[in-house]
Amino acid sequence: MMELLLGPGIVAGLVKMGVVLAGVMTLVSAMVLGERKVAGWIQDRVGPNRAGPWGLLQPLADGIKFIFKEDIVPSAAYRPIYLMAPALSLTTALTTFAVVPFADRFVVSGISVAPIIADLDVGLLWIFAVASLGVYGIVLAGWSSRNKYSLMGGLRSAAQMISYELSMTLGVVGVLMAAGSLRLADIVNAQSTTVWNVVSQPVGFLVFMTSAYAETNRLPFDLPEAEPELVAGYHTEYSGMPFLMFYMAEYANVILSSAMMVLLFFGGWHGPIVDRIAAGVSPAAAAALHAGVFFLKLSFFLFLYIWIRWTLPRFRYDQLMRLGWKVMLPLGLANVVWTAALILGGWI
């Protein structure tokens, strides 16, 4: 595994990092625009339509605005940590993408290309590990702002993320049992030989999806930034670029959890018709086709995120905790037993 970091593949690694970073950042800005457009449609409004044709340049305008806004640091804030917290949030959100594959390994003119930055044998654990560090960004932002609303938002968020991390992990255990591997590419390919995990473990998917929405602090679970009660939660005091970093981290996390839903439960880049077409073309073309399919599925889940946000009302805090501990956790355990039964019975 260290060879990935130290071997001759380091140039290829840097190129892939650049591609993935550019891709994720483009998706983030597309999400920002998409969120406002879809919100407009759902509420029977027009949405942003002034910057460029159909408002397509809106993310650019937003970015420029953020850059030119003043970075305000409250005089009572603990400055080093106050400034570090948003960077920590964004770094952890982006680092997780290192283990996300978009297609199978393929060979072009004698060179084996893996469309993934680091093909770790513990890829899934890496995502959970880095995501578990992501909570620090939010907690520290809340604490270092020296503001009661921020502190409450930070603490709520930490409690919420720790609670739902459990059920999220339990929801994935079934997937691991079915695939027998922690490597994301193996999990995807295991689904192409049998059925998609969402078919064999619908409850597991439900638990995972609900927990993912809670982990990313999105409606209906966006309690940490519930504006009627907490102003804006942990990022109340932030402005300019530091605020933008929190904003980007949130969308990067949304993209990551959508990608995980596709990879873990919806067959990744595989599909019934796609695989037949891919078998007949050159390896590089097949990989491109697979990456396209992956992106299509990803787009659907990104849209679902926005759709749900503008459709469902926010939960109350005690309802959120009860749902996590008394519904999602037992359901996750039930899914583990269910998957074990399927494997014992030889159905998957």
Partner 1 sequence: MSPRELVFWADAIVAVMTAGTVILHRNPVVCALALVLHLCSVAFFFLLLDASFLFAVQIILYAGAIMVLFLFVIMLLDPAGEGVAGRVGKIQLGATILGAGLLLAATAKLVPLLPGGHGQPGSPLPAGFGQVGAVGRLIFTDYLFPFEVASILLLVAMIGALYMGKREIE
Number of Cβ atoms within 10 Å of the Cβ of 174: 29
Nearer to partner 1, 87 or 125 (CB): 125
- The partner residues of 106 in beta bridges, in order of sequence, read 113
Of residues 130, 129, 157, 132, the one with CA closest to residue 143: 157
From 151-159, 215-223, 226-234, 329-337, span contacting partner 1 (CB under 8 A): 151-159
Tokens of 205: 């998917």
Interaction of residue 133 with partner 1, rule CB under 8 A: yes
How many CA within 13 A on the CB side of residue 199? 9
Interaction of residue 162 with partner 1, rule CB under 8 A: yes
Interaction of residue 344 with partner 1, rule CB under 8 A: no
Interaction of residue 11 with partner 1, rule CB under 8 A: no
Smallest separation, CB 133 to partner 1 (Å): 6
Distance, in Å, from the CA atom of 47 to the CA atom of 60, rounded to the nearest integer, reads 16
Interaction of residue 81 with partner 1, rule CB under 8 A: yes
**Which DSSP string do the residues of 198-257 spell out, in sequence order?**
HHH-HHHHHHHHHHHHHHTT-TTS-GGG-HHHHTTGGGTT--HHHHHHHHHHHHHHHHHH
Interaction of residue 340 with partner 1, rule CB under 8 A: no
Interaction of residue 130 with partner 1, rule CB under 8 A: yes
Nearer to partner 1, 128 or 300 (CB): 128
Interaction of residue 118 with partner 1, rule CB under 8 A: no
| Helical residues (DSSP H) of the chain, grouped into ranges | 2-6, 10-42, 58-68, 79-95, 123-144, 148-179, 184-193, 197-200, 202-215, 227-230, 240-265, 272-280, 283-309, 317-322, 329-344
User: Which one of residues 121, 227, 277, 316 is an interface residue with partner 1 (CB under 8 A)?
Assistant: 121
Interaction of residue 182 with partner 1, rule CB under 8 A: yes
From 108-116, 155-163, 275-283, 291-299, span contacting partner 1 (CB under 8 A): 155-163
Nearer to partner 1, 58 or 145 (CB): 145
Binding site for partner 1 (CB under 8 A): 1-2, 5-6, 78, 80-81, 120-122, 125-126, 128-130, 132-133, 135-136, 139-140, 143-144, 151, 155, 158, 162, 182
